[in-house]
Chains A and B, each alone.
Chain A
Amino acid sequence: MTNAFVRALACGTVLAGIAVAGAASASDNKIALIPGGPHPYFAPWEQAAADAAKDFGIATVDFKVPTDWKLALQTELLESLAAQGYNAFGIFPADPVGINSTVAELASAGIPSAALAGCTQDPSDVSFCLGTDVYNSAYLGTKALIEAMGGKGNIVHLAGLLVDPNTTLRVKAVETAVAETNGAVTLLQTVADTDAQEAADQKINALLGAQKDEIDGMIATGYIPSVVASKSLRTLGDKRIKFIGIDDDPIVLEAIKDGFVAGTMAQNPYGQGYIGAYVMDLMASGGCTVKDDAPWVKTPQTAKFIDSGTLVINQANLDTYKDDLKKITADIQGKFKDTYLNCQ
């Protein structure tokens, strides 16, 4: 407990130090962080926006949510905000290809954008993509699941929206991790389109009702199926089926604590919003551009990717993982300007 407190204090000091340094460059910029639609994953962006505005002295950093998870609504929101004078955007694309034309039009009007939490598909005019390496996250999660199962058995993958290209990457990652077991682990089924409450309830409960005894492990790569599966396993009282979820919803964390869930893949939504607002402020001020020769990670979607950090939460680090994420955030932000930007 004492160690956790000291770590938290240390992280707080690092962030505060960076904040004080950043506050010296107060700006008139109006920045908006825009998710693809309403989703609990993005809830930390609101606090991240408020903190970034305060810490870096930015005139406005707003968190604006399209009313539904639809490209047209996100596009309209972006266009209307640009018409109101917002001059930089951090965007989770509602569609990684469809958003590109809007981003290109914003860029031609001198308004920079960054993809946060999810990338656009190259070629794109977004400056960079800061997010979870979804392939790596799903791969590591599946490896953790296989380890929890003792290296053998049958697993099921609870995947997100079919029309989301990230789902394709996650499906490939799970398949790769399973293939590496040389037949010891079998992927029974990939249940897709589960990242909505009603669909997740129906599909996961039907799956457990019909095939509970054949399933040895499950991995969810969407926020909502992760929560629903955690609740279902608790209701069933089943600790035999090993489950790896994603994100840190309190229901999932409680299930880890009580042993119904083996672990969950933590992402860093707060860090994505906080760092995204900080960098967009630098770029909107006109003094900074992205370096072409920076150590970008190349992914199937983009050549300018930065991993915002991922780690497995289990019973061992349940109390300390937030400090680890804060450390990752402070580390990325502290190095961002020198590593990825050319500033005058």
Chain B
Amino acid sequence: MSDDAIRDAPPRRRLSLGGASGQIGLLAIVIGFWVVFSSLAPGFLSTFNLFNLGRSLAVDIVIGFSQMVVLATGGMNLAVGSIGVCAVMFTGFLLQDLGLPIPAAMALALVLGTLLGWLNGMAIVKTGVNSFIITLASASLYLGAMLILTKAVPYSELPAAVGAFGRLKIGTFLSPLLVIAIVIGAALFVLYRFSTLGRQILAAGANPRAAAMSGVPVDRVIVFSHGLSGFLAACAGLMLVARLGAAVPSVGGEEWLLPSFLGPVLGGTLLSGGVVAVVGTMIGAALVTTIRSGLLVLQIGNFWLQLFLGLILLFAVFVDRYRSVYAERRSTRQR
């Protein structure tokens, strides 16, 4: 299948961007939780909580995107947290030690994130080893290199404007970080929905062999997706730098793994590849953030939180499995 064939395919036969009905159902669940939490705990709707919830959500959404773009190819990126913390510490180094202007430092940190992701992609396509193994190794490699180079010393004297941006409010409680996350989401939606490259990525994820036979440069789109994943992980890292007003080595790492999978998988992105759900990832992240915040505000024992997050992940995996089987049956019927 050529590029034109993908572009010209009728809308119903196009590779999926995630089921809208599932996302509406997910949104209804999120709204349900909001109603429950706000009625049981008045503090849940306080501007203080809404502002903080929005900031956490912004970071979770971008972390989810970082994983989603690789899931689209049928792979995974276990190094999102390591790339994120590398970008965080690199930003601190550029701002504090080299004294670069904020935009230049942030741009270079994004370049570093992209480069680290690109290295993952290159290693995967050149060796043919599963992305699970490559990114598991690179997660330790990147984190270890960061610790060796920085000696785990945080950068706490960044320009005041960095922290001020993280504390900025649009209106009474809307964080600009959330706006950035939504803008990134819109850009990704356009990429997958309207661009040839986006559809090539989904085709390579759905069936790499068929995609290659159709002329899709599968290796190239895998490398691109990992580069994009690194870029997005660096974005999330920069958001945390703004949130904390400092660059600290204890953010990112394994901490990002769970949210990176929860958002996309709950939202409708298939672990097996070929399907992404940009809006669904945002709603999935909103569900996780809402439950986390709600349980905390309700003062349900903190250790129950882990249990709930585990149950949500399990639920997401079952839903993912159901979706895979359903998609397969529908595809068989259509043939």
| Inter-chain contact A76/B292, CB cutoff 8 Å | yes
Considering only CB atoms, which chain A residue lies closest to B248 in the complex?
A98
| B167 contact from A77, A84, A101, Cβ within 8 A | A101
**Which has the most chain B C-beta neighbours within 10 Å: A96, A100, A163?**
A163
Q: Which residues of A contact B163 (CB under 8 A)?
A: 101, 104
CB neighbors of A among B137-166 (8 A) = 147, 151-156, 163, 166
CB neighbors of B among A48-99 (8 A) = 64-68, 70-72, 76-77, 79-85, 94-98
| Inter-chain contact A70/B250, CB cutoff 8 Å | yes
The 4 A-B residue pairs whose C-beta atoms are closest, nearest first, are A80-B296, A83-B43, A83-B49, A97-B154
Q: Chain A residues in contact with chain B, CB under 8 A? A: 64-68, 70-72, 76-77, 79-85, 94-98, 100-101, 104-105, 109, 121, 123, 162-163, 165, 168
15 contacts across the A-B interface (CB closer than 8 A): A67-B302, A71-B248, A76-B56, A77-B302, A79-B52, A80-B296, A80-B297, A84-B299, A97-B156, A97-B244, A97-B248, A98-B251, A101-B166, A165-B152, A168-B152
Known: A70-B250, A80-B296, A97-B244. 9 other contacts (CB 8 A): A71-B251, A80-B297, A83-B46, A96-B154, A101-B245, A104-B163, A121-B154, A121-B156, A123-B156
| Inter-chain contact A163/B152, CB cutoff 8 Å | yes
Q: Which residues of A contact B147 (CB under 8 A)?
A: 162-163
| Inter-chain contact A72/B251, CB cutoff 8 Å | yes
| Inter-chain contact A100/B156, CB cutoff 8 Å | yes
Q: How far is the CB of B136 from chain A (nearest CB, A)?
A: 18
Q: How far is the CB of B205 from chain A (nearest CB, A)?
A: 30
**Interface membership of B318, Cβ < 8 A:** no
| B152 contact from A80, A104, A162, Cβ within 8 A | A162
Q: How large is the interface on B (under 10, 10 to 19, 20 to 34, 35 or more residues)?
A: 35 or more
Q: Which residues of B contact A83 (CB under 8 A)?
A: 43-44, 46, 48-49, 52, 297
Q: Measured between alpha carbons, how far is A124 from B66 in the docked complex, in Å? A: 33
Considering only CB atoms, which chain B residue lies closest to A70 in the complex?
B255
| Inter-chain contact A109/B246, CB cutoff 8 Å | no
For the A-B complex, the count of residue pairs with Cβ-Cβ distances under 8 Å equals 96
Q: Which residues of B contact A85 (CB under 8 A)?
A: 43
Q: Measured between alpha carbons, how far is A21 from B242 in the docked complex, in Å? A: 45
Considering only CB atoms, which chain B residue lies closest to A85 in the complex?
B43
Considering only CB atoms, which chain B residue lies closest to A162 in the complex?
B152
**Interface membership of B123, Cβ < 8 A:** no
**Interface membership of B249, Cβ < 8 A:** yes
Q: How far is the CB of B92 from chain A (nearest CB, A)?
A: 10
Given A71-B251, A77-B296, A100-B245, is A65 in contact with B302 using a C-beta cutoff of 8 Å? yes
Q: Which residues of A contact B293 (CB under 8 A)?
A: 76, 80
| Inter-chain contact B297/A95, CB cutoff 8 Å | no
**Chain B positions 298 through 327: 1 when the CB is less than 8 Å from some CB of chain A, otherwise 0:** 010011011000000000000000000000
| Inter-chain contact A95/B248, CB cutoff 8 Å | yes
Given A76-B56, A80-B49, is A101 in contact with B154 using a C-beta cutoff of 8 Å? no
| Inter-chain contact B250/A84, CB cutoff 8 Å | no
Q: How far is the CB of B239 from chain A (nearest CB, A)?
A: 12
| B250 contact from A95, A109, A121, Cβ within 8 A | A95
**Chain B positions 238 through 282: 1 when the CB is less than 8 Å from some CB of chain A, otherwise 0:** 000001111011110001000000000000000000000000000
| A95 contact from B52, B154, B167, B296, Cβ within 8 A | B154
| Inter-chain contact B255/A72, CB cutoff 8 Å | yes
**Interface membership of B104, Cβ < 8 A:** no
**Chain B positions 7 through 27: 1 when the CB is less than 8 Å from some CB of chain A, otherwise 0:** 000000000000000000000
Q: How far is the CB of B260 from chain A (nearest CB, A)?
A: 13
| Inter-chain contact B156/A64, CB cutoff 8 Å | no
